[in-house]
Amino acid sequence: MQFTELTTPTTISAQTDPLQATQQLADTLLQTTCVRDRQVLLAVTTQAAEQAALAALFDRLDLIHTPTRVLVPHVALPVLQAALAPHWPQAAAQIQAIDAAHRIHWQAGRFSFDVSARPLVYGILNVSPDSFYDGGRFVAKAAMQAQVAKMIAAGVDVIEVGGQTTRPGFTEISPEVELTRIVPVLDFLRRAFPDLPLAVDTYKYPVMVQALKLGVDIVNDVTGFTDDPRKLTRLADSPVGLLTMHSNRDREYQDLTREMNAFFTRNLADLTAAGIARTRIALDQGIGYAQVADGQQDYTMMRNLDQLNHFQRPLMVAISRKGFGARLFGLAKDDRLPVTLVAEAAMVLKGGNILRVHDVAETVQLVKMLRTIETAYWLG
């Protein structure tokens, strides 16, 4: 028994046998769909005596299959491997290798996250007075420390500190003011919780430099890091993870999906050309950063997140308590948690694997429930 992953076939020529051309075309369409839907298309070679048992196993795993092909969701690969191991260890090893090749890792400072195993819960700690949801709530030291303790107790994976809001119509502050807000918080977090992954949300080069000196593991930049060449030079010499964001507040699109793909293609090329390893980069669509915030483009981005799966990079879901809850349902910001969770669940099922949130406990439950369902296979 042997499993081989099928990649996109070569171009079909006029000399290709018609039957072979049909198979190649079908495989091409399936492969394109597989990338979007996080599945693999495998060619299966078996002995006659193995076919019935293998077909029965595929049926129990609810896999679509023919005698020579099988479609396997990424999340089902470890289950298939475990089921094959007792009787076909060589085939199990092949599945294990295929699974490893499709796992998405994010190298971020001191940490390496396997976001294929479980989406990250990425907690927001805003210490600015004017952030759209929690502005001013955690400026006081005692309130900030209490919120940190609450997030950690709830199971947060990363805490991101922000001192400059970028909400629609925001007022820019100087790097010096931003640093006075975030440095005491970062210093407290590193001393009190030395094993906690830390992120900073800033687009200003001087703030990034100081945050790196304080030992942050992740930098989140709403400008995509390419507005100031000093950023890439400095970041190339550090191990931090980069969260790079698409924004089109300054322009309108005719084809949103194509433009977003073009942006990330260019952005990844720029970052890697500067010496930043691709494994250090995660992507954020920039929901809320269209010319019309909380409008149709934002809903389209919620739907078309799977159109970015081909980049094989972590994809952030950053919609926590945003204005779509007000626009669609008239909800005040303190009443938007249920609709946030619904939208986040939809985006996780599309491939989102970093959830940037204000509400950690509820998001941890969401991630666990979705993961339990996605990986639930009954083999008796």
> Where are the extended beta strands (E) located within 187-240?
198-201, 218-221
Query: Using CB atoms within 10 A of its CB, is residue 185 exposed (0-12), middle (13-18) or buried (19+)?
Result: buried
Verify that 290 and 224 share a domain, yes or no: yes
Verify that 81 and 129 share a domain, yes or no: no
Q: Are the CB atoms for 185 and 162 separated by under 8 Å?
A: no
Which of 102, 134, 153 represents a domain boundary (last residue)? 102
- Within a domain: residue 14? yes
Verify that 269 and 247 share a domain, yes or no: yes
Kindly state the percentage of the chain with pLDDT values over 70: 96
Q: What is the mean pLDDT of residues 9-29?
A: 71
- Within a domain: residue 323? yes
Verify that 88 and 215 share a domain, yes or no: no
Verify that 148 and 236 share a domain, yes or no: yes
Q: What is the mean pLDDT of residues 307-320?
A: 97
CATH number at residue 178: 3.20.20.20
- Within a domain: residue 308? yes
Structural domain count, the chain = 2
Residue 370 — φ and ψ, nearest 5°? -65, -40
Q: What is the mean pLDDT of residues 102-112?
A: 98
Q: Which two tokens stand for residue 322?
A: 């945003």
* pLDDT one-digit tens code per residue, 265-306: 999 999 999 999 999 999 999 999 888 777 899 999 999 999
Residues 6 or more apart whose Cβ sits within 8 Å of residue 285 = 245, 246, 260, 301, 305, 308, 315, 316, 318
Q: Are the CB atoms for 201 and 242 separated by under 8 Å?
A: no
Confidence of residue 11 (pLDDT cuts 50, 70, 90): low
- Within a domain: residue 379? no
- Within a domain: residue 380? no
Residue 19 — φ and ψ, nearest 5°? -65, -40
Q: Which two tokens stand for residue 294?
A: 């909380």
Give start and end residues of each alpha helix (H) in 274-359: 296-303, 324-329, 337-348
Confidence of residue 171 (pLDDT cuts 50, 70, 90): confident
| pLDDT score, position 173 | 92
- Within a domain: residue 349? yes
Question: Over 80: is that where the pLDDT of 186 sits?
Answer: yes
Q: What is the mean pLDDT of residues 345-356?
A: 98
- Within a domain: residue 157? yes
Verify that 320 and 345 share a domain, yes or no: yes
Verify that 77 and 120 share a domain, yes or no: no
pTM of the entire predicted model: 0.92
Verify that 49 and 66 share a domain, yes or no: yes
Verify that 226 and 293 share a domain, yes or no: yes
Verify that 266 and 198 share a domain, yes or no: yes
Which of 65, 80, 102 represents a domain boundary (last residue)? 102
Which of 44, 74, 102 represents a domain boundary (last residue)? 102
Q: What is the mean pLDDT of residues 109-128?
A: 96
| pLDDT score, position 50 | 95
- Average pLDDT of the chain, as a whole number: 93
| pLDDT score, position 132 | 59
| pLDDT score, position 128 | 87
Verify that 320 and 207 share a domain, yes or no: yes
Q: How many whole angstroms separate alpha carbon 256 and alpha carbon 289? A: 13
| pLDDT score, position 13 | 61
Instruction: Map tokens 């990844």 to a residue.
Output: 268
**What DSSP designation does 6 have?**
-
Kindly state the percentage of the chain with pLDDT values over 90: 82
- Within a domain: residue 8? yes
Choose among 214, 292, 208: nearest CA to 244.
208
* pLDDT one-digit tens code per residue, 76-96: 999 999 999 999 999 999 999
Domain that holds residue 123: 105-374
Verify that 61 and 149 share a domain, yes or no: no
Q: How many whole angstroms separate alpha carbon 292 and alpha carbon 149? A: 36
